Chains A and B, each alone.
Chain A
């Protein structure tokens, strides 16, 4: 039942089209009404060429990338991200992950290094700690 995860494993990449809709929907779903995430004209006045994705959406996408891979019984413990090149509309962000540590325990935890690249560079680098699903199919939270 327990899938063997190993240090050094790569997660399959996930490509996320960065649409204007995703940027706005993510901002509103995260209750972030900063104009740079929905109003292109005001974003330009603030020195940005267009609206750009807010950090909460990036955080949510990184979380989703991990739980998509490890399954719904895996539980996020820590997500630490740093943003670089902005996610502008029309770009594609490619998320990749690499398991850097497996910690024994009940439940065991995996540490995953995550990067998300777009056309202009590295949008996000992050480190995620995730509790791995145990043998029971029930939710692994505690």
Chain B
């Protein structure tokens, strides 16, 4: 156990798997690996066709391989790294540990290549790969897992041809919602200080708090008046007219529950200034996200997002 003090996210258990994985840092992932094919013109042509790369440097009698193909010459392909391609037991063991713990998926995140000399048809590729580092457990949008960084030194006919540093995330896929269970918006936290607001929403009334000492309006609801400190209040029902004071468009990451199409596409979040002078954060509906503008007149509406939740939103006014 060398991983002193490594803690998982969200609880205080030690990450024993990380301690095991770290032991692989510095070990060989491939030793004297051999490319399955000599550098060759058909594979170069297929690559250029896929990439839409028409450079004359990669064609004709003096052709070189596109430098960015470096890794392709070392790939195991459909049959994988079969005997003789140099894959070490250490790398397979480390992957088996991760697979066994449920971290079964792989996605590449970083690739750093340096090209020392051009590869030409006929070159015989050999390579050595070392496991440079393993990250502590990380949670990403795809799921939770470990970043594994390897460095590969590529040789062509025995000469150094390039280096290739590669980082992957080996992860446990996040649970995806079934189609029958569409994503739901977060529930509002209702407490003594704001229960009246939500009671109003349930009756399709947008209630603004008013200080009974100084008559200052406030929204969102708060226990006391920011203007005079008064604790007593009553309410005024909003007339429903307002204008967009400011807005942002949310593109990424996708939160399907907020998007009108449920697919997580872009959606507009607006700060609406009510005719009464207070402002509220909400969604603008009735126009595409990219048609929302500052100053746009809007009026109050209520949107049932799912059977258990109804929210005040703002509809762009006709002809606005």
Contacts and interface: CB of A to CB of B under 8 A. Distances in A.
Contact of B107 (A36, A45, A64, A80): A36
A83 B55 contact: no
A101 B143 CA distance: 37
B67 A63 contact: yes
Contacts, number: 132
Interface residues on A, range: 35 or more
A54 B108 contact: yes
Interface string B92-121: 000000000000111111111111011000
Contact of B174 (A47, A73, A139): A47
B112 A47 contact: no
Contacts of A68: 53, 55
B77 interface: yes
Contacts of B106: 34
A72 B57 contact: yes
Interface string A11-53: 0000010000010011011111110100000001111100000
B57 to A, nearest CB: 4
B173 interface: yes
A46 B142 CA distance: 9
A60 B53 contact: yes
Given A22-B50, A72-B57, A82 B72 contact: no
Contact of B173 (A28, A47, A85): A47
B172 to A, nearest CB: 9
A108 interface: no
- From DSSP, what is the main secondary structure of chain B's interface residues? mixed
B113 A78 contact: yes
A56 B110 contact: no
A36 B111 CA distance: 18
A139 B57 contact: yes
B50 A46 contact: no
28 contacts: A22-B50, A26-B50, A29-B49, A30-B72, A33-B77, A46-B104, A46-B105, A46-B173, A47-B174, A47-B176, A55-B108, A59-B111, A61-B51, A62-B68, A64-B51, A67-B53, A67-B55, A68-B53, A72-B56, A72-B57, A76-B68, A77-B115, A78-B112, A78-B115, A79-B68, A81-B111, A83-B109, A139-B62
Interface of A: 16, 22, 25-26, 28-34, 36, 44-48, 54-57, 59-64, 67-68, 72-73, 75-83, 85, 119-121, 139, 141
